[in-house]
Structure 1
Amino acid sequence: MLNRISDLPATFLGPEEYRSDAGARFAAIDDFFWKLERRQSFQEEDDDGYRAFMRGDWDGAQRMEARALGALRRRFESVGFEYRRVRIVERPVSPYLQWEMQALRVRAEAGEGIRVLDAEAVHGQEEGGLLPEVVIVGTGALYEVGYDQAGVHNGARRIVDQEVIGACRAEMAVLWDKGEDLASYVTREIDPLPPPLAQL
């Protein structure tokens, strides 16, 4: 079902509408907030660590991400549900993804559940194109999060059909079970890499 999301009826929301709509549904989550990340690069201009990375300040980028640990830990401890993110990774790892893994490591340490899955594991589901970027807010709504060619967020398509949401939640659980814990992946695959080039 995940590979069919783009073809299903949905309501388009602009970036601010999406954030507001999804945020309003958080209180109703009683189990999982799911997130699937498939793209290998995004634009994150509102993130200090990302901007430092783009300037070529790799040490500064990592320090800036680490500063968020306390606030993130309080955030994850305050909710009554579990965050579960599945991050699909292609090889060779993109410069962006090398940076993002530093931010994700901090989020994992703070309490977010994050697992990594090699792109080869989902190739069978991508005959018609790459899997979409997906956020599932409990059982209330699924969002196909949109980005332009440069990787800038430009809104989301909202689906509230319970059959679709249920099927996608089940597929996300399968991907989660196949994934590797972020900490072990980063230690083995990311930490040995030289600092990334400041370009996408």
Structure 2
Amino acid sequence: MVNLSLYTVRAMVILDGEGNRLVAKYYSRGPHAQNYKSVKEQKKFESELFSKTRKSSGEVILYDGHTVLFKYVNDVYFYLVGDPEENELLLSAVLSGLVEATSLLLKHSVDKRNLLDNLDMIVLALDEAVDDGIALETDPNVIASNVSKRGADTIDVSLSSLNEQVLIDVYKQAKERFNRSLLK
């Protein structure tokens, strides 16, 4: 029987060129229980996965009962782990969208150093692409745009908009006082 579920992704992992973890998100929801609950189990899985894929020329493998898709960009490995019966085209679209969005966010300079310097944006991009194991977005432009909007909303409170708001409030108060003085 085919298992129809929204929970398509088991994990998303980004490793450097030596197999060290840069970012990892494991998801435990859905019909299948997560295999890698402790950090020790996760790191063991990641190191075995890295040694299996570092010399591979393909992009999809079946490993440890999971479908694993991966992409290598400069000195960074991107991995997406799904169920063995999951649609590889869907998983590939999610991974490609994430890798391209990362490239857009890092101004086409994807490497370990740049990724670590902008880790906050990369984690937001992961969350935009996949939420708790559910693939949400595959379009890299949308992912990058949503991440950029969040950064602009939370970080930049410009002085000009603050000054405009203060002027509007002062104008309203002056108008109210003027109206009261006319009524007296």
Structure 1-normalised TM-score? 0.25
Q: TM-score, normalised by structure 2?
A: 0.27
Bigger CA radius of gyration = 2
Pick 1 or 2: higher relative contact order, CA cutoff 8 A, min separation 6: 1
